[in-house]
Every structure is written in structure tokens, then in C-alpha cells.
A = this chain, B = another copy of it.
Amino acid sequence: MKEFRVVGKGIERPDALDKAMGKTRYVGDMNLPGMLYAGIFYSSLPHANIITINKHKSLEVPGVKAVLTAADIPGRNLVPLMKEDWPFLAENKIIYAGQAIALIVAETKDDLEKARSLICVDYEELDCVMAPEESLKPGAPQINPLGNLIAHYKVYSGDIDKGFSFADVVVQGVYETGYQEHAYLESQAFLAVPRQEGFLTVYGSMQCPYYVQNAVSTLLGLPKNKIQIIQAPTGGAFGGKEDFPSLFGGLAALAAQKTGKPVQLVLDRRDDIIMTSKRHPSRSYYRTGAKNDGTLTACEIKVYLDPGAYATLTPAVLWRCAVHCFGPYRIPHLKVDAYAGATNKVPCGAFRGFGTPKVIFAMERQMDKLARELNMDPLILREINCLKTGDTTATGQFLEWSVGLSETIEKARQLSAWDEKRKLFPSTTGTKKTGIGCSTFLYGVGLGAAGRKIDKAEARIQVKPDGSVLFAVGTTDMGQGMQTVLTQIVAEGLGGIAPETVHMLPVDSTRVGDSGPTVASRATYTSGNALLLCCKKILEKMKGCASSLFDITPDSIQAQNGFFYGISGLDPDNKTKHKKKLTSFSDLAEQCCNKHIPLSGHAVFDSPPTSWKQDTGQGKAYVTYSYATQIAEVEVDTETGEIELKDVWAVHDVGKAINPTQCLAQIEGGVLQGVGYALMEFIDLDEKGRINNPSFSTYIIPTSLDAPRIHPMLVEAAYPEGPYGAKGFGETPLMGMAGCIANAVENATGLDITKIPILPENILPRLSQK
């Protein structure tokens, strides 16, 4: 195997020091002369016709520069995401409590708040619907302007009835999962700045600059070459900065265009929680059959996601949900129907795992139920059924390579002392019960067949005459560490130069073309590959230059450790190739500059083909998959219902860890976010779909005190089409947590856990009955 100089090393994040020192300037830290502040007036009702918007008093507040409504929009009043259903500012109807109605622009934040409190809207209230299964019934009130059925996806393979007829055992269950708030540290934040010649720059905390560019272009009716979107340092996103930035970035731009001034739009936490997307709540119906030897024969699944009022990214979330809800298993007969039916609630959207954590929870509960019925060790049941290289998935995709699932199961088993604990725990006595549970799962890397149209990435590299390097990509770092990983890929790709000599430019829509959204754990894979294509072009040019300088064929030149070597055939004495140092990377860069050989590389990585048949749900859903096994050990206080999560073992097949330190940290973060999802996080809605707990003192997320001991481990089943073998995996560490924790709670208590979050108050009554 090739020796790497930079890849595979846990180098320090280039952004770490500034962040640790408080020097990083987020949008909220930016300030420009004459800058104005914008804020949004939103609906307090879930479903109503707007009779009048009275902005008169609001405009009288000194310092208020504008109060803008739908009538003030020069372009199209539709946020350009997956469907054309969602207005930037409500026109004559609102369909959820929290929907934007007016945009206020003022000199100070105080003026802004005063003006906001003086806007008065007359509504005619309408009947509302709060559950997707209700909204899809005939005769339900129409909520979404394009119809209540936001999407329906199927995955059908084999013959489901036959499949169940082969089964010796059938288990079923109904599973419910709740909302999850992204709880990024930095709220939604944008700064729009009018420039010369009708040009407009929008800085924002966001994942998808090209979505925001589309949004601004649509809203303002401006050509795209007049709009520059720059990603500001972004303090967390988790999917929550994929969809709503199109709304807020657009509105900030509108305010800037209308006033001719820089305008900052930063949401406070309350507004952010009330207005923006969350993880979709779900209810799913599972029926799973297996033979006595544990072999799965059939699985029938019906999933309902609650998308809230507008589609945002729900079709994509639902598709991924449909493709992941049957787990990483060989299932010959499968029938999946996944639905999203609009409700009068805040729109749900992208969230780390993108439709999968809810169904992994369900499927993994099913697997444990099956194991119990079969009296089989749950890990063994999974090992029997899990996908291996050479298998075909239930959507008909042949897995040619890089299936490290078995290895994650085996490693997790050993690490956690699973076998001993499964034997030991049932015999614990007392009021505190210990249990251990597992989950195994996969994650399709990248946008997959449903996102094929936008699944490309551009990159540019510029080598300066002193050998220092700049690069630009179109995917973003929102804290997940992309910048570090791509820096390493570039340093390695240019022949193992020092990563400190490589600098990533801020993501800027004018630097590279549309590179798709930064979601779906695709940044390392797509931008990494695009950068490697650039590196190749640059090395070729440098070798060409070295070739003429040192009179040696380009093929005989190797770049290594920041130097170029001439390799001459076999050395007769020691039977090894003879290697002669020709020049350093930086000296050769200078020579190239002098010879007018431009060391610029530009490339587009076009994701390999995928395929999908909408009617059967068959095809090559994703280019590749990441795999993982997670094991949780819990202690349940049967007197209080409190669950103490003690240990988590998380073994992840990442293809190749470009930066192992970051991979391990990514696991720790994901695990903890999964702990919140499984055990704590709960959006409290009133009967009108209004959020009762829009703050971090009432919406509880895990702190370090809630953290278990986390034992992360990596498996590297190299993906030949990934950069240095890497697959994406940023989302996976969260995904299996609800499943393994629920299974551990069952192991400890015998309770069939069918609903998350598993709150003490929910399980205590059942515990007392035991």
C-alpha cells in the first residue's frame, strides 16, 4: 500500500486556532458603515387567510427604513427548492405558525423590535391539520398549495406475500419518532451588501451557497453573475442550513437592494427555533419475517413523515428514508411505502441522517424483536443478514466493493465485550437495571439517484510562484472539518507537500461553479475528487517543466514529500529503482512561473452514474455506502425511569480516514447528538402547532454531563472511486444511536421501546407495571 505523507494523519484544523481564540468573525460579528438590521414578522396562527397587513404604525418608528411585504418583491415570490409551493413572504394565506409575512429594516435592533411589535395583521382563521395521516385522508383541508401529498416513494422487490409465506417468525411494530431541533451554536445569519454596478454580495452562515444564489436571483429577478454568495464561517448546521438560508439569504438581499445599504439579518434563538426546519417526526408500521435460522425473508414497511406546511427538502428526505428503512440487510421480499402529508406546522427539512435515524430506530427495534423471538443473539442475527461485498441490495444494486459492515460488527462486539455482557446483564438485580443493545446500519454517500442532476463538484487550485497553494471549492465547512480534510487531500495530491502551505479560500459562488449542496456526507468525496483532478493537472505541468529542465522523461519523474525525483530503471546492484532528487516543489513552482507555465488547475468531478425506477424503487440508489455498528450500554433506574447511558461503542467504516482524529471527533459529536434524539430532545407543540419551548432552557439538548463514555473506532474498507479510498460518513455517527439505546433499554428492562425520545415520564408507568 502506498505510503501517505499527509493523508491518514491527524493534522490540526487550519481553522482551530482562530476559533479557539475567539478571532473567527461570524456574520453576527461583521459590521459595515451604514449597516442596517433586518428582522422578520411572522404568523402566530397555523392556518389563516390574511385580510390586511397594517404596517403603518411600524413605519412611524424612528430609525425604521422599510417594512416590506410580498408586494415589494421585484422577482418571483417562491423559494426555489424542490417544489414551487413556498413564498418568501406570505401573500394572502399563512399555513403555519412562524411563517414569514413582513421584513422590517431598521437602523438599530431596538428600532427593529419596536417596529416588529407594531405590525398588525387581520386574519381569517381556518381549520388546521396536525398529523400527516389525517392530512392525506380524503376531504382533509388543503394545506399545501400544491396538495397535501408532498411525496410518496416506493421500494418494491420480490413478492411480499411469498416472502412472508417463507417466514417461520414474523414480528411487527409501530414506531414513533419526534422532532429534533438542529440546535446549531450559531443561529441563521446573513449579511447582504450592495456593491458597484448592480452587484450584490451575500455573506451567510449556510451549507449551500448555490441554493442561496438561486433564491436571491429568483426573489430579486437578478442574473446570477450579479450575485456573489460567500459562506461566512458557519457555527454548525446539521442540515438546518440547507433549506432556510434560501429564505433568509433572499430576504437579507431584498432588504439590501431596497435600501441600498448593507443589511444584517441574524435570527435570535427564539425566532430561529420557531421559524426554521427540524427533523421530521414520523410514524412507521413494520412487519418483518425470518426463518428459524435467522435469515430474513420479508419486510413490509409503511412510513409517514410529517413535513409540516411546505415541501422544502421533504421529497429528498422521504426518498432517502424509503431507501434506508430496511437497513443494511439482504431482504429478498420487500415492500416499502413512504409518505409525507402536509400539516399546519413548521416545515421540516434536512437534518444529519436525512430521513434515516427514525427508520433505523424502527428497523433495529424490529431486528431485536426478531432476535428475541428466535432466541438468537442480536449481533449474530445481524451478522447473518448483513450485506457483504458481492451482495445485491434490496433495490437491486450490486455491491462491488467497500462493504465493511461485518468488520464493524465484529470489532464492536469485541470492543464492547458484548458476549459477556449479554450473558451477564439479565442476571443483575436491584432497582437499577443494566442493558446492552446494538444497531447496524448503512448510509448512502452523496445525493444518490434522486439528486443526480446536481451531484457534481467543481474545484480550483492555484500554485503560487513560491510554492504556496490556494484552493477553492463549492462545498462548505460548517464545522465538520471539510477544510482540514480537503487541505490534506490537496497536500497529498500535489506530491506530499506540507499541509501548512495549503490555504482554502472562503467558499464564494464567483470562484467555482455550482457544486451542489453540502449535505449527504458528500463534501470529502466530491470536492476531494475534484481537487485530485486539479492536482493531477498541475503535477503534469510541473513534471513537464522538470522534464525539460533536467532532460528526463515526464514519466520518470515522481513527486514525493514535497520534492520531485527522477526514477531511473532498475539499479543493477541493489535491484531497486534509482531515485535522484531533482528539485523541490517550491523551486519548480518558481521555474514554472518564469516559464509562463500556469500552475492553475480547474476540474469538475461528476459523480458516477446512478439509476432509479420510480414505480418499483429499484436501481443503483447511491454510488457507495458507509457502514457502522453502534453498541450502547445503559443503566435504567426502574424507580425513576431515568436512563443513564454509560458507554457507547461506535465502529464506522469510512473507506479511508483522511484525518483519523477528526473522524473520531465526528463520531463523538454524532453519538452525542444521537443521545439527544434518543433520550432527551422534545419539541412541545400546542394545539395550533406553536412551539412552547423555543429556547435552550426548555428545549433540552445533551451537555457534557450527559455524555457517555464514547469508544469510537474506524474500519477502512477503501472505496476505489473515493479520494484515497474515502467515503463520506459525517452523518452516520448519529444515525444508529436511537436504535442501540432503545435496544439496550429493552435489554435492561424488557420494555418494548417503540417511541423516541425515551423520556423517563413515558417509560415509568410501564416500568412500575413490571
**Binary CB contact string for chain A from 563 to 578 against chain B (1 if under 8 A, 0 otherwise):** 0000000000000000
Q: Does A197 contact B (CB under 8 A)?
A: yes
Answer whether A599 and B513 are a contact pair too, CB < 8 Å, given A196-B15, A503-B197: yes
Say whether A181 faces chain B, with CB atoms less than 8 Å apart: no
- A197 x B596 contact (CB < 8 A): no
**A465 at the binding interface (Cβ < 8 Å):** yes
Q: Which of A169-201 contact B (CB under 8 A)?
A: 196-197, 199
- B196 near A18: Cβ-Cβ < 8 Å: yes
A interface, size bucket: 35 or more
Which of A33, A197, A511, A594 counts the most B-chain CB atoms under 10 A from its CB?
A197
Interface residue from B502, B512, B600, B602 paired with A513 (Cβ < 8 Å): B600
Q: Tell me the minimal C-beta distance from A24 to chain B in angstroms.
A: 6
Please state if A462 and B510 are interface contacts (CB–CB under 8 Å).
yes
- Is there a chain B Cβ closer than 8 Å to A501's Cβ? yes
Would you call A223 and B501 a contact (CB within 8 A)?
yes
Query: Roughly how many angstroms separate A502 CA and B472 CA in the complex, as a whole number?
Result: 22
- Which residues of chain B come closer than 8 Å to A596, judged between CB atoms? 456, 604, 606
Please report which residues of chain A, range 446-503, place their CB below 8 angstroms from some CB of chain B when the two chains form the complex. 453, 456, 458, 462, 464-470, 472, 501-503
- Cα(A612)–Cα(B468), bound, Å: 33
Q: Which residues of B contact A224 (CB under 8 A)?
A: 464-466, 468
A-B contact pairs, 7 of them (CB 8 A): A18-B196, A25-B196, A196-B233, A224-B464, A225-B503, A453-B594, A456-B598
What is the CA–CA distance of A503 and B466 in the complex, to the nearest angstrom?
31
In the assembled complex, the Cα of A217 lies from the Cα of B512 at a distance in Å of 26
Is the C-beta of A226 less than 8 angstroms from some C-beta in chain B? yes
Residue on B with the closest CB to A225? B468
The answer to whether residues A196 and B23 also contact, given A32-B32, A225-B501 and a CB cut-off of 8 A, is: yes
Please give, as numbers and ranges, the residues of chain B lying within 8 Å of A31 by CB-CB distance. Answer: 32-33
Tell me if A514 counts as interface (CB < 8 A to partner B): yes
B510 touching A226, Cβ below 8 Å: no
Partner pick for A465 among B18, B501, B514, CB 8 A cutoff: B514
| Residues of B contacting A199 in the complex (Cβ-Cβ under 8 angstroms) | 503
Q: Is residue A396 within 8 Å, beta carbon to beta carbon, of the partner chain?
A: no
Give per-residue flags for A255-278: 1 if the beta carbon is below 8 A from chain B beta carbons, else 0.
Answer: 000000000000000000000000
Closest beta carbon of chain B to A107's beta carbon, Å: 16
CA distance A224 to B223 in the complex (A): 33
Contacts of A502 in B (CB 8 A): 225
A514→B593 contact, CB < 8 A: yes
Q: Flag A541-585 by CB within 8 Å of B: 1 or 0 each.
A: 000000000000000000000000000000000000000000000
Q: How far is the CB of A209 from chain B (nearest CB, A)?
A: 13
Asked if A505 CB lies within 8 Å of chain B CBs, one says: yes
- Judge whether A8 is part of the interface by a CB distance below 8 angstroms: no
Contact A510 to B466, CB < 8 A, known contacts A453-B594, A458-B598: no
A514 to B: closest C-beta gap in Å: 7
A354-371 with Cβ < 8 A to chain B: none
Q: Tell which of B217, B469, B602 touches A600, judged by Cβ atoms closer than 8 Å.
A: B602
CB contacts (< 8 Å) of A18 on chain B: these are 196-197
Q: Are B464 and A225 in contact (CB under 8 A)?
A: yes
Chain B residue contacts of A32, Cβ below 8 A: 31-33
Q: Does A426 contact B (CB under 8 A)?
A: no
Interface centre among A24, A25, A468, A594 (most CB of B within 10 A): A468
Any B CB within 8 A of the CB of A14: yes
Query: What 0/1 readout, one digit per residue, does chain A (225-242) give for beta carbons within 8 Å of chain B?
Result: 110000001000000000
Q: What are the 6 A-B residue pairs with the smallest beta carbon separation, nearest first? A: A225-B468, A223-B468, A224-B464, A31-B33, A598-B604, A225-B503
Contact in complex: B510, A225 (CB < 8 Å):
no
Which residue of chain B has its CB nearest to the CB of A194? B23
